[in-house]
Structure 1
Amino acid sequence: MSDPERAMLLSVHPRFATAILAGTKTVEVRRQRVAAPPGTPVLLYATAPTMAIVGMAWIASVQVATPREVWTTSRTSTGISRREYDEYMSGATRASGLSLEGPVSFEVPVPLASLRATGSFHPPQSYRYLTDEDVRKLAAAVPSTGVALHRALGDLASV
């Protein structure tokens, strides 16, 4: 994968993963600048207690601005209250609002134990880009019943 075509692994709390996959949360906010072009595939890793890759979406756009500007633009799409947002953004001078589209739930989530069985795997604190090797390891960790994820990984591997 070349840099503009790489996939992203995004760690989110289970409640946010559920909302993204249901289409009720269409903007994910981050405290740091995210430079990902539209069309970037995003694998959603739901943190504890789920601890699994549960689905994916694609980046429609990224807004990088002050936390106040990101909130003003995206508040109805973030799935969080103003108080939660302010607590999360406390001390940040820049924020990113990742507009997500086309969410797909995986019928068979990939648990952390399966991801680690293929080698050392550490979910990111926030997000990280996946290498070709990461995609190959993910594909190896997926049971054959995970048709949607296998399709997605095949698409990623061919990018």
Structure 2
Amino acid sequence: MSENAIISIRPKFVQAIVSGVKTVEVRRRIPPIQAGTTLWIYATLPIGAVVAVAVAVQIFRGHPDELWASFGAETGITKEDFDSYFEGTASGVCIYLGHVREISPIPIRQLRSMRVGFNPPQVISKITAEEARFLEGFSRPV
């Protein structure tokens, strides 16, 4: 059984992922996930809901220059924004997203009924198989 996690992403980037313009999510810190993890995509405020699901098909770690050379066109951001984001760090992560599907929003109140005291992760947070089944029960294709 694959792992599941919730990943927080700004709404404009979520839209780029759902539309297929952005197929790679970049992160400064290496998230505690592995290839094959199902990612429940939480669109940060003002949306504040899980709105899509994807699979972390592959995870690449490396120096920002190497990551840009390999995946820049798939990040959905400019080179300037990429460099600014990675300024001061010698390594980063590119998560290649596949099997993306938009779902009807699962708002924060539903997420809090899944886990008492739930707060959206700053970056990424693993969830249990039971919590993933809970989310699956609310996920409806858009």
Assess same fold via TM > 0.5.
Answer: yes
Tell me, what secondary structure is at the counterpart of 2:97? strand
Detail structure 1 runs of 4+ shifted over 6 Å in the superposition: none
1:147 to 2:136 alignment: no
TM-score (norm. length: structure 1): 0.79
Q: Could you tell me which of 55, 58, 65 is aligned with 1:58? A: 55
CA displacement at 1:134 relative to structure 2: 3.2
C-alpha distance in 1 between matches for 2:79 and 2:90: 17
The answer as to whether partners of 1:61 and 1:98 remain within 8 angstroms in 2 is: yes
Q: Decide which of 78, 82, 85 is 1:85's aligned counterpart.
A: 82
Q: How does 1:1-150 map to 2 (within 5 A)?
A: 5-34=2-31, 36-106=33-103, 108-118=104-114, 119-135=116-132, 138=135, 142=138, 146-148=139-141
Determine helix, strand or coil for the equivalent of 1:18: helix
**Which consecutive residues of structure 2, in runs of 5 or more, have no partner in the other structure?**
none
TM-score (ref. length: structure 2): 0.88
Secondary structure of the 1:64 match is strand
Instruction: Tell me how far apart the structure 2 counterparts of residues 133 and 41 of structure 1 sit (CA, whole Å).
Output: 13
Q: Residue type of the partner of 1:109?
A: P
Percent same amino acid among aligned pairs?
32
Instruction: Pick which of 108-117 and 91-100 moved more.
Output: 108-117
Residues 35-66 of structure 1: CA deviation (Å, up to 9, x unaligned): 53332211100001111000111112111001
| SS of 1:33 mapped into structure 2 | coil
| Contact 2:3–2:36 (8 Å) recurs in 1 | no
Which of the pair is proportionally richer in strand? 2
- Give the direction of change, closer, same or farther, for the CA distance of 1:125–1:45 in structure 2 (3 Å limit): same
The gaps in structure 1 that reach 5 residues or longer are: 150-159
- How many angstroms apart in 1 are the aligned matches of 2:136 and 2:71? 34
Residues paired across the two proteins, number:
141
